[in-house]
Amino acid sequence: MIEFWYYWVSAAVSVVIFWNLPQGLKFPFLGIVSFGFIASFEPLTVAMMLAIALMVYFLHNRADQKPLFRLATKFLITVVAAYLFYFKYMPALASLFANGYDFANLLLPMGISYFSFKLIHYVLERSRGMLPQHSFWEYFAWVFFVPIFTAGPIQRFDLFMNGRSSTWDNQMAWDGLTRIAIGLIKKFVLGAICLFVLESLNYGSTGRLLNNLEDTSPLRVILFLCFCYLFVYMDFSGYTDIAIGTGRLFGLRIMENFNFPIFAPNIGNLWKRWHMSLASWCQSYIYMPTLGVSRSPYVAVFASFLVMGLWHAASWNWVAWGLYNAAGVAIYQKWTMTARKKKWRIIKTKAYSFAAYPLTFLFFAGSFAFTITHGEHGLYAALRILFRCFGIDI
């Protein structure tokens, strides 16, 4: 975890220097400072990231003939995907084989998932001619911009370029500081309250819950999952608020990643509000291509959520998390399509609308049974927690 004070002192000094530099030096400064900041924590892994980022930019920009450009596109996507696969998924796969290579000491690079998905986006959109004209330093600053490097959002390059301000804007700076304050309150006040509630109700840890699961009432298990959901939302969205606010101080408009998902009226709408940059990425590069091949929105939904699950981690828990959410979205799509086709009036009633909000909240909270048991507890523990919500012991 990046030292809190180190981040803020570096950010404050960088903002002052950034706005006092000539226009042509702003993005070189931002890129170099960001890269240097990250490299001070992980010099070896960031050196590899630098090599891949440089390869993506220069190889793609030097391939001026169509056959070479297409070949470069395929090659670069393969390189980035192989890099992600090797560091994030090989340790999990190797553990399945007793005589496999020992990956136990392999260091997972910081921000590898966000870094890899950003580069795949860049390669694909550039191959389609959809990116604005840009310099190397604008690209470099986008790749390594510190506030979004470790935990996103997965900033699209065109939005990074088009949403910037070339001059200091007092209103933009005030918006940025306000957004940072909101993020800090979410992470360190509201998030802390959620943890306090979990502790005070003796829910403190997943292990403690599992050890006493048979003696824990279904209501208490449901509350445990609900507060886990609220804590992750406050912590993750708070980080995003800080990233967006910091970006504003540099005249950059970082894309939104959350839009009050806890108030979503259905699971389909929730996934337009939760981790929006990841959902948008999967819609563009997984859902639409899969839909074009399969002609089935349900196959496309399951493919998208499977990628989303594996994007988080290579484990059966995250695969199950993806399938759980995919099933919820697919069932909701089928339900609404059938209700409209048969003109069921229930979907237009106030009772239906009133019930939809808490049911959506509870359904998504249930998915956290898979995430909180990821690692030492495993998939069976997640299923035990979910079944216990209905008073069933397995």
pLDDT tens digits, residue range 327-337? Answer: 999 999 999 88
pLDDT tens digits, residue range 267-311? Answer: 999 999 999 999 999 999 999 999 999 999 999 999 999 999 999
Closest listed residue to residue 224, CA positions, set 325, 232, 354, 305: 232
Q: How many C-beta neighbours within 10 Å does residue 344 have?
A: 14
Residue position matching structure tokens 């697919």: 330
| The two structure tokens encoding residue 172 | 């933009």
In terms of C-beta distances under 8 Å and separation of at least 24 residues, what long-range contacts does 164-172 make, across chains too? 164/251, 164/252, 164/253, 165/251, 165/252, 166/23, 166/251, 167/251, 168/19, 168/251, 169/251, 172/248, 172/251
- What is the enclosing helix (H) or strand (E) of 250? none
Domain residue extents for the chain: 4-153, 163-258, 264-394
CA distance 163 to 245: 14
User: CB–CB of 316/383 below 8 Å?
Assistant: no
User: CB–CB of 148/245 below 8 Å?
Assistant: no
pLDDT tops 50 at residue 247: yes
| 3-class DSSP assignment, residue 175 | helix
Closest listed residue to residue 202, CA positions, set 190, 187, 188, 217: 217
Tell me what the mean pLDDT of segment 205-231 comes to. 90
| 3-class DSSP assignment, residue 133 | coil
User: CB–CB of 268/327 below 8 Å?
Assistant: no
Q: How many C-beta neighbours within 10 Å does residue 68 have?
A: 13
CA distance 17 to 101: 47
> Is residue 106 very low, low, confident or very high in pLDDT (cuts 50, 70, 90)?
low
Query: Taking the CA of residue 211 as centre, how many other CA atoms within 13 Å lie in the half-sphere pointing to its CB?
Result: 7
The reported pTM is 0.92
Which 8-state DSSP code applies to residue 313? -
pLDDT tens digits, residue range 359-386? Answer: 999 999 999 999 998 877 889 999 999 9
